[in-house]
């Protein structure tokens, strides 16, 4: 986090300043840390899940034990009913405590550990029972389903209490006619005992699961503690509110990127400077912005501090800093107005230089005129004044005849004066013809001014320095060519020179260099054209700019006679204005 002093405060220091020690928090009754709250919530959830899972497991287990008991009772009853002796004894004897049916039923009951084995006739009268006193009496539950030939499984309550029962019809072994029924009961207390015996095992499993869950909750909470810097939820909410207020309140654009290089946060100023909205979130800078230096800076392909970038008509200063999670945060400052002020200052300096050159030339002419007058050479003085005035007027008129736009004409006349002081011959080609009616005259002034300034700087230290400018209209397209006799541009740097921030010259006091050619290219691309650089005839560099749709109406080419009249004479006049020897 940057502070006005320029020192970067580590994140842990920031957390230390925004939170208090745990003991002090407990003493002051402050909210619990995220670590504590998450751990308690996870333990509560784990315990609740363990209890719920145990309860849900007991329900089907109880049902399963009941079903097993009823099926066991039914199986004993079926086995008993299959014994032909019981059916014969039921037909041939009377119900008795010592009768054969009672003895056989008791033998089966003891062998199977059943609670009771009851054999009944078609009237429902017991022929056997665990309690001999019940023999000869009618059964306590409804026997009609079994006597009608159906098998019955149920949990019911009888004379011996609650039991799991199985009832089957008893058939005559000879004609298979139903002559009675067999009812077998399994004590429900034994079923409940099996369920109770299973509970400790279930609780052991639940306890083990709860222990594993508690350990996992503790590990997760420790990770949350490290990631949240041991803050409380209220602290996090306050920090988020402060962050939102800070991000959207500052006058710097902020772009946050995740470890995958995708935009995860944009503040209002960044949206304004970059001309993008919320649709850019989740996308890479290449997808959101397209190709360009701004994209390269945000993506980290261009490194450094206070990097120049151009986005649309805005000049931006960008800085990018990696974050601990593998992402990055980029800040953007709008330098458009400052850059415009700097260029206006450069223009003012150029105007001052032109005025100084004109003042120097005017002083020389006035001294010459004063000498002629002192020598009483009046006729020569009149001729000299007429020639000087005529030359200056002819220069301006010839430029205006070739270039009808007043801004461009004034620019070239002023640049010629500056070139004169530097000892550079500035020529306007005899092929130049540019009518009035430019769609963006100020943009073309920027293009011409940047290219002419670069050319003058390039030839400043060369002998016989010369710069030539050609402006011509082809329909609605404007073609500009600027050629100089300087050292030229190596082929491997011809693409690099259009990059924002790239320059071979020392930066001025008011800012940075490396924007002129970038602006030229962007202005050309805005009109649907482009700019190329190559090697001029005889050495030096030659820039060619094509601006389609730069004229409001198709240009009418001048007549041959007019071009002959305006051609060589105009070029010579501008050369004289550029300070070549007369």
Q: Which of 20-34, 344-358, 362-376 has the lowest mean pLDDT?
A: 20-34
Residue 453 burial (10 A CB sphere; 0-12, 13-18, 19+): middle
H or E segment and range at residue 425: strand 425-428
What is the pLDDT confidence band of residue 570, given thresholds at 50, 70 and 90?
A: very low
Q: Region 175-197: what's the mean pLDDT?
A: 77
What is the C-alpha separation between 37 and 501, in angstroms, rounded? 52
What is the C-alpha separation between 342 and 490, in angstroms, rounded? 29
Position 28 scores a pLDDT of 39
Q: Which of 43-47, 234-238, 479-483 has the lowest mean pLDDT?
A: 234-238
Helices marked H in 459-552 — which ranges?
Answer: 516-526
Strand order through the sheet with 328-334: 263-266, 253-257, 328-334, 314-322, 307-311
Q: Which of 2-16, 187-201, 243-257, 465-479 has the lowest mean pLDDT?
A: 2-16
Helices marked H in 439-550 — which ranges?
Answer: 441-458, 516-526
Position 575 scores a pLDDT of 45
What is the pLDDT confidence band of residue 341, given thresholds at 50, 70 and 90?
A: low
- Residue with the larger pLDDT of the pair 223 and 107: 107
Yes or no: say if 348 and 274 are a contact pair by the CB < 8 Å rule: no
Position 582 scores a pLDDT of 27
Helix (H, G, I), strand (E, B) or coil at 120: strand
Please identify which residue in the block is written with the tokens 């220091």: 13
What is the pLDDT confidence band of residue 529, given thresholds at 50, 70 and 90?
A: confident
Residue 245 has pLDDT above 80, yes or no: no
Yes or no: say if 547 and 538 are a contact pair by the CB < 8 Å rule: no
| Token output for 488 | 């030229």
The highest-level CATH class for domain 250-334 is alpha beta
Q: What CATH number belongs to 396-577?
A: 3.30.565.10
CA angle 205, 211, 217 (to 5 degrees): 135
What is the C-alpha separation between 528 and 515, in angstroms, rounded? 20
Helix (H, G, I), strand (E, B) or coil at 164: strand
What is the C-alpha separation between 471 and 55, in angstroms, rounded? 92
The residues, ordered by sequence, that sit 6+ positions from 498 with a Cβ below 8 Å of its Cβ are: 517, 518, 520, 521, 531
Yes or no: say if 329 and 323 are a contact pair by the CB < 8 Å rule: yes
Helix (H, G, I), strand (E, B) or coil at 477: strand
Residue 373 has pLDDT above 90, yes or no: no
* DSSP letter for each residue of 282-328: TS-HHHHH-SSHHHHHHHTSS-SSSEEEEETTEEEEEEEEE-TTS-E
| Token output for 14 | 């920031």
Yes or no: say if 263 and 283 are a contact pair by the CB < 8 Å rule: yes
Count CB atoms within 10 A of the CB of residue 153.
17
Residue 20 — φ and ψ, nearest 5°?
Answer: -120, 170
Residue 167 — φ and ψ, nearest 5°?
Answer: -125, 135
What is the C-alpha separation between 553 and 475, in angstroms, rounded? 8
Helix (H, G, I), strand (E, B) or coil at 33: strand
Residue 106 has pLDDT above 70, yes or no: yes
What is the C-alpha separation between 240 and 50, in angstroms, rounded? 36
What is the C-alpha separation between 210 and 221, in angstroms, rounded? 16
Residue 23 has pLDDT above 70, yes or no: no
What is the pLDDT confidence band of residue 34, given thresholds at 50, 70 and 90?
A: low
Boundaries of every domain in the chain: 58-195, 250-334, 396-577
What is the pLDDT confidence band of residue 510, given thresholds at 50, 70 and 90?
A: very low
User: What confidence tens digit (pLDDT) does each residue in 444-458 have?
Assistant: 888 888 888 888 888
Q: Which of 253-262, 507-516, 521-530 has the lowest mean pLDDT?
A: 507-516
Position 195 scores a pLDDT of 60
What is the pLDDT confidence band of residue 479, given thresholds at 50, 70 and 90?
A: very high
Residue 6 has pLDDT above 50, yes or no: no
Q: Which of 244-248, 474-478, 484-488 has the lowest mean pLDDT?
A: 244-248
Residue 506 has pLDDT above 70, yes or no: no
Please identify which residue in the block is written with the tokens 């530097």: 422
SS3 labels along 57-113: HHHHHHHHHHHHHHHHHHHHHHHHHCCHHHHHHHHHCCCCCCCHHHHHHHHHHHHHC
Position 342 scores a pLDDT of 58
Q: What is the percent of the chain where pLDDT is above 70?
A: 72
- Residue with the larger pLDDT of the pair 225 and 521: 521
Position 2 scores a pLDDT of 41
Count CB atoms within 10 A of the CB of residue 331.
19
What is the pLDDT confidence band of residue 183, given thresholds at 50, 70 and 90?
A: very high
Position 51 scores a pLDDT of 75
Helix (H, G, I), strand (E, B) or coil at 119: strand
Position 233 scores a pLDDT of 61
User: What confidence tens digit (pLDDT) does each residue in 265-295 have?
Assistant: 888 888 888 888 888 888 998 888 888 778 8
Position 357 scores a pLDDT of 62
Position 573 scores a pLDDT of 41
Position 561 scores a pLDDT of 38
Yes or no: say if 183 and 200 are a contact pair by the CB < 8 Å rule: no
Superfamily of domain 58-195 in the CATH hierarchy = PAS domain (3.30.450.20)
Residue 411 has pLDDT above 90, yes or no: no
Same fold across 250-334 and 396-577? no
Q: Region 125-153: what's the mean pLDDT?
A: 88
- What is the Cα 43 distance to its own chain's centre? 34
Please identify which residue in the block is written with the tokens 């002796």: 85
Q: Which of 90-99, 238-247, 471-480 has the lowest mean pLDDT?
A: 238-247
What is the pLDDT confidence band of residue 511, given thresholds at 50, 70 and 90?
A: very low
What is the C-alpha separation between 364 and 370, in angstroms, rounded? 10
Closest by alpha carbon to 434, among 448, 421, 423? Answer: 448
Angle between helices 406-422 and 378-402 (to 10 degrees): 130
Please identify which residue in the block is written with the tokens 């962007």: 522
Question: What's the chain's average pLDDT?
Answer: 75
Q: What is the percent of the chain where pLDDT is above 90?
A: 5
């Amino acid at each position: 986090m940057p502070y006005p002093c320029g020192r970067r405060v580590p994140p842990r220091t920031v957390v230390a300043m925004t939170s208090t020690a745990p003991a002090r928090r407990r003493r002051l009754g402050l909210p619990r840390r995220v670590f504590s709250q998450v751990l308690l919530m996870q333990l509560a959830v784990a315990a609740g899940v363990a209890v719920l899972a145990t309860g849900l497991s007991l329900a089907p287990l109880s049902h399963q034990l009941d079903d097993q008991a009823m099926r066991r009772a039914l199986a004993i009853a079926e086995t008993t009913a299959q014994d032909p002796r019981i059916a014969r004894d039921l037909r041939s004897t009377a119900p008795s405590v010592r009768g054969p049916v009672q003895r056989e039923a008791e033998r089966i009951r003891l062998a199977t550990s059943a609670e009771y084995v009851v054999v009944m006739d078609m009237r429902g009268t017991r022929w056997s029972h665990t309690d001999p006193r019940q023999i000869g009496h009618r059964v306590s539950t409804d026997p009609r389903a079994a006597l009608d030939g159906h098998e019955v499984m149920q949990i019911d309550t009888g004379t011996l209490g609650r039991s799991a029962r199985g009832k089957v019809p008893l058939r005559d072994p000879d004609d298979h006619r139903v002559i009675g029924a067999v009812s077998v009961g399994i004590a429900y207390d034994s079923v409940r005992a099996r369920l109770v015996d299973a509970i400790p095992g279930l609780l052991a499993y639940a306890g083990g699961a709860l222990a594993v869950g508690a350990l996992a909750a503790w590990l997760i909470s420790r990770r949350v503690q490290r990631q949240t810097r041991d803050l409380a939820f209220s602290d996090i909410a306050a920090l988020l509110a402060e962050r939102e207020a800070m991000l959207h309140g500052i006058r710097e654009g902020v772009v946050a990127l995740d470890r995958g290089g995708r935009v995860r946060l944009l503040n209002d100023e960044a949206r304004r400077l970059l001309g993008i909205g919320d649709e850019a979130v989740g996308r890479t800078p290449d997808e959101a912005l397209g190709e360009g230096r701004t994209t390269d800076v945000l993506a980290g392909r261009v490194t450094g501090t206070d990097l120049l970038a151009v986005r649309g008509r805005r000049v931006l200063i960008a800085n990018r800093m990696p974050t601990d999670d593998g992402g990055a945060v980029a800040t953007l400052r709008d330098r458009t107005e400052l850059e415009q002020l700097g260029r206006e200052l450069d223009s003012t300096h150029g105007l001052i230089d032109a005025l100084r050159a004109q003042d120097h030339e005017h002083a020389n002419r006035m001294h010459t005129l004063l000498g002629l007058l002192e020598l009483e050479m009046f006729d020569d003085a009149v001729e000299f004044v007429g020639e000087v005035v005529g030359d200056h007027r002819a220069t301006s008129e010839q430029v205006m005849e070739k270039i009808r736009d007043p801004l461009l004409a004034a620019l070239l006349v002023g640049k010629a004066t500056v070139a004169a002081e530097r000892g550079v011959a500035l020529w306007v080609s005899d092929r130049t013809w540019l009518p009035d009616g430019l769609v963006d005259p100020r943009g073309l002034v920027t293009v011409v001014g940047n290219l002419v300034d670069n050319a003058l700087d390039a030839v400043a230290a060369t002998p016989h320095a010369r710069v030539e400018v050609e402006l011509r209209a082809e329909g609605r397209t404007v073609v500009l060519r600027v050629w100089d006799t300087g050292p030229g541009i190596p082929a491997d740097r011809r693409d690099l020179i259009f990059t924002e921030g790239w320059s071979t010259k020392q930066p001025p006091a008011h800012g940075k260099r490396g924007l002129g050619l970038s602006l030229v290219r962007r202005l050309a691309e805005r009109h649907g054209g482009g700019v190329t650089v190559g090697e001029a005839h005889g050495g030096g560099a030659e820039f060619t700019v094509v601006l389609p749709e730069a004229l409001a109406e198709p240009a009418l080419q001048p007549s041959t006679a007019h071009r002959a009249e305006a051609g060589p004479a105009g070029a010579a006049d501008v050369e004289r204005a550029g300070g070549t020897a007369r």
